[in-house]
Chain A
Amino acid sequence: MVENRPFLTMLSHFVVLLGVVIIAFPVWMTFVASTHSQQTMLQSPIPVLPGPHLIENYKKVLTEGYGKVGSTPVMMTLTNSMIMALGVAIGKIAISIISAFAIVYFRFPGRMYFFWAIFVTLMLPVEVRIVPTYGVVASLGMLDSYSGLIIPLIASATATFLFRQFFLSVPDELTEAARVDGASPMRFFWDILLPMSRTSIAALFVIQFIYGWNQYLWPLLITTKESYYTVVMTVSRQANVVDSVPSWNLLMAMAMLAMLPPVLVVVFMQRQFVRGLVETEK
C-alpha cells in the first residue's frame, strides 16, 4: 500500500466481499435446496436456510438416483466420471510427456512435421468437429465404452508444449553427464527428466482432471447405456426432463455431488491449479 486511506481500504474489502457473496450465491441456494423436502421446494418463495433432510436426500440420490423412470444411481455416474477424468488426465500427461521428450531430445527426419501436426490440434476444440468425430468413433465400435469416452479427448497440444518448454529449460550438463555415464535415453528419461517434471505434471493434472470431469457434449453423444453415464450429463439431463412433480431437492443434491470433486481439487491444490492455468496458456 502506497498510502493510508482507511476509507478506500474499507471500500475494497466491501467490494471484494460483495463479489464473493454474489459468486457463492448460486451454490449456496443449491446446497439449501438439497437439504429440504420435495414439498418445501415446490412453494415459492423457497427457503434460504438449510433444512433437515440433508442425509436422507443425499442417500437417496447416491443409491437410487433421481426420478421415477430411468434413474441411474449417482454412485455409479460418479464412478464413471472419476474413471473418465483420471483417464483423460493421466492419458494426456503420459502421451504428451513422451512426445515432448522425442521432439526435444532427438534429431530425426520429419521432426518439424510432427511438431506442426501436434500444433494444429490446438486450434480445433471437439465441439467444432463434433459430428464427424462421432462418426469416426462409431465406425471404430467405441460407442458405449470407457475407451470411447477417454481416448478421443487425450490428444493435447497444450500439454506437449508445456513439457517441451520445461525440457528446454533443463540444463544440457545433465544430459551430458548422463551420456558420459553411459545412460540410455530411456534411462535418462526415467531417472532424471521424469522426477524433475513433478511440479509440471501436478499442475497439468489439476487442469486436465477438471477438463475431463466437466466434459458434457462428448459423453452425452457417445453413451446410450446408463452404465456409462457421467454425473455432469445426468444432472443436465434430469434438469430438462419434464416431470409432473419436479424433485428440486434431489436434483440439487445431484448437482452438489457433481461439483464437489473438481471444486475440492481446485481448493486443495490451489497452487498447482494457478500454475497450470498460467502455464498452459504460454
Chain B
Amino acid sequence: MEKRVTFNERWLPYLLLGPQMIITLVFFFWPSGQAIYQSVLIEDVFGGNSKFVWFENFAQLFRDNSYAHSAQITVVFSFLVAAIGLGFSLLLAVMADRVIRGATAYKTFLVWPYAVAPAVAGVLWGFLFNPSVGILAWMLQGIGIEFNYVINGNQALLLVVIAAVWNQISYNFLFFLAGLQSIPKSLIEAAAIDGAGPGRRFWDIIFPLLSPVGFFLLVVNIIYAFFGTFGVVDSLTKGGPGKSTEILVFKVFNDGFRGQDLGGSSAQSVILMIVVIALTFVQFRFIERRVHY
C-alpha cells in the first residue's frame, strides 16, 4: 500500500530515518555480523591470535553431545510450554466466553501475569517449590511425593515449564478470547436450533474457526519458549541440576560468557538466528493468509 499524496523534500526523510538507522546499524547489524564472522574463527586460548577455520565450529557443535542434549531439551521444553499453555488458556477462554456476567472482571484477574518479569516469575515459583520452605513442596510431601527441583533434573524441567506457562498465560488467553468473540453468534445459534449440544458446537464450529488463532499462538509460544524464557531458567535453575534445564538460548550465554568459548558461542548464535528467521517467516506467511481469508 502506498500514499497517493506525499511531500517533496530532499534531505528531510533521511534526517527522520537517521536515529533509527544509526541504532539499528550499531546495535543490530554490527553485532550480528560479528557473530557470523566469529563463528568461522577459532581464537587462541591466550587471546589475540585467531584462525579462520571455515565451518569447524559448526562441525564441532554437531559432534558435541552436550549441544545435542541441549537441543533435545529445548524441543521437549517448547513442546510442553506450548501444549500446556495453549490447552489451559483455551479452556479458560472458552469458559470466560460463556459467562456473560463478570466476564470483564475475570479478564482483569487474568491479564496481569503478563506484566511480571520472567526472572521474577522464576523466583516466585522457586519459592513455592523450595525444598525447605516451599508450601507446594510441603503439600506434595504430605501426599508422599518427594519434590526437590534442586537435585532432580526432570522436576527442575517441569518447574521451569510451569513458571514459563504461567508467565505467558494472559497473552494466550487474550488472543483466544478475542478469537472466540469474533465468531458470529448466528452460526452458534443455527447449530443450536439444529439440535447440536454445547460439546458438539465446540468441536464442529468453534474449534475449527479458532484454528487460525491457535496456529498463530503456537508459533508465538514456540518463539517465546525458545528465546523469551532466559530469565525463568536463569533465576530458577541456572541450567541445572547437571545440564537438565540448559536450553539453547541459555547455552549461548553460558558458553560465551562463563566458558569464554567465543567461536562456539557465535556458531550457536548463528544457528539460533536461522531458527528465529525460519519461525518468523512461518508466522508472516500465516498472517498473510489470514488477511486474505
Interface residues of A, Cβ cutoff 8 Å to B: 1-3, 5, 8-9, 11-13, 15-16, 19-20, 23-27, 29-30, 33, 41-46, 48, 94-96, 98-99, 101-108, 111, 114, 117-118, 121-125, 127-137, 140, 151-152, 154-155, 160, 167-168, 172, 175-176, 179, 185-186, 188, 210, 213-217, 221, 232-233, 235-236, 239-240, 248, 251-252, 255, 258-259, 262-263, 265-267, 270, 273-274, 277-278, 281-282
A130 to chain B minimum Cβ distance, whole angstroms, is 6
A150 CB → nearest B CB, Å: 10
Tell me if B117 is interfacial: C-beta within 8 Å of chain A: yes
- B85 interface residue (CB < 8 Å to A): no
Query: Contact check: which of A12, A25, A41, A124 meets B98 at CB < 8 Å?
Result: A12
Given contacts A95-B19, A274-B174, contact A236 B138 (CB under 8 A): no
Q: By CB atoms of chain B within 10 A, which of A23, A24, A129 has the most?
A: A129
Q: Given A46-B133, A96-B20, A235-B119, do A124 and B252 touch, yes or no (CB 8 Å)?
A: no
- Do the beta carbons of B277 and A106 come within 8 Å of each other? no
**Contact between B120 and A258 (Cβ–Cβ < 8 Å)?**
yes
Within the complex, what minimum Cβ distance (angstroms) separates A87 from chain B? 13
Q: How far is the CA of A9 from the CA of B94 in the complex (A)?
A: 11
| B128, B231, B252 — most chain A CB neighbours (10 Å) | B231
| Cα separation A130 to B231 with both chains bound (whole Å) | 14
**B249 interface hit (Cβ, 8 Å):** yes
A86 CB, min distance to chain B CBs, angstroms? 16
A233: chain B residues at CB < 8 Å are 119
User: In the complex, are the beta carbons of B92 and A3 less than 8 A apart?
Assistant: no
CA distance A124 to B192 in the complex (A): 47
Expressed in whole angstroms, the Cα–Cα distance for A74 and B76 within the complex equals: 37
- Closest-by-CB residue of B relative to A133 is B31
* Shortest distance from the beta carbon of A221 to any chain B beta carbon, whole Å: 7
Taking A2-B188, A23-B169, A129-B32 as contacts, is the C-beta distance between A255 and B16 under 8 angstroms?
A: no
Q: Is B35 an interface residue (CB 8 A)?
A: yes
A-B contact sample (4 more), CB < 8 A, given A214-B115, A216-B117: A123-B276, A123-B277, A128-B276, A214-B231
B169-210: CB near A (< 8 Å → 1, else 0) gives 101001100100000010011001000001000000000000
A41 to B127, CA, bound (A): 11
Could you tell me how many residues of chain B have their Cβ less than 8 Å away from some Cβ of chain A? 101
Q: Is B77 part of the binding interface, using a Cβ–Cβ cutoff of 8 Å?
A: no
Distance in angstroms from A13 CB to nearest chain B CB is 6
Looking at B112, B230, B253, which has the most chain A CB atoms within 10 Å of its CB?
Answer: B112
Q: Name the distance in Å between B28's Cβ and chain A's nearest Cβ.
A: 5
Which residue of the partner chain, among B26, B96, B108, B273, contacts A270 with CB atoms under 8 Å?
B108
Q: Which residues of A contact B6 (CB under 8 A)?
A: 105-107, 175
B265 contacts chain A at the CB level, 8 A cutoff: yes
Chain B nearest CB from A187 CB (Å) reads 11
Chain A's nearest CB lies how many Å from the CB of B274? Answer: 10
Cβ-closest chain B residue relative to A215: B117
Closest residue of chain A to B255 (Cβ to Cβ) is A131
Residues of B within 8 A of A96 (CB): 20
Chain A neighbourhood of B28, CB < 8 A? 121, 124, 129, 155
Alpha-carbon distance between A175 and B178 when the two chains are bound, in angstroms: 34
By the criterion CB–CB under 8 Å, are A262 and B31 in contact? no
Question: Which of these binds chain A: B46-54, B60-68, B99-107?
Answer: B99-107
B133 touches A44 (CB 8 A): yes
Can you name the residue of chain B whose Cβ is closest to the Cβ of A122? B280
**Nearest chain A CB to B23 CB, angstrom units:** 4
Q: Which of A48, A236, A281 contacts B122 (CB 8 A)?
A: A236
Distance, CA A29 to CA B19, complexed state (A) = 45
What is the distance, in angstroms, from B272's C-beta to the closest C-beta of chain A? 5
Given contacts A128-B269, A132-B35, A133-B31, contact A214 B117 (CB under 8 A): yes
Shortest beta-carbon distance from A100 to chain B in Å = 9
When the two chains form their complex, are residues A185 and B7 in contact, meaning their CB atoms are under 8 A apart? yes
Q: Which residues of A contact B112 (CB under 8 A)?
A: 263, 266-267
Q: Are A16 and B227 in contact (CB under 8 A)?
A: no
Interface hits, B120-153 → A, CB 8 Å? 120-128, 132-135, 138
- Are the C-beta atoms of A129 and B235 separated by less than 8 Å? no
Decide if A185 touches B9 in the complex (CB within 8 Å).
yes
Could you say which residues of chain B place their CB within 8 Å of the CB of A217? Answer: 230-231, 234, 253
Q: B17 contacts A128, CB within 8 Å? A: no
Question: Using Cβ atoms and an 8 Å threshold, which residues of chain A touch B276?
Answer: 123-125, 128
Expressed in whole angstroms, the minimum distance between the Cβ of B53 and any Cβ of chain A is: 18
Nearest neighbor of A266 in chain B, beta-carbon distance: B115
B160 CB → nearest A CB, Å? 14
Min Cβ gap B264→A in Å is 10
Q: Which of A11, A128, A137, A248 contacts B227 (CB 8 A)?
A: A128
Contacts of A172 in B (CB 8 A): 3-5
Give Cα distance in the complex from A265 to B107, angstroms: 15
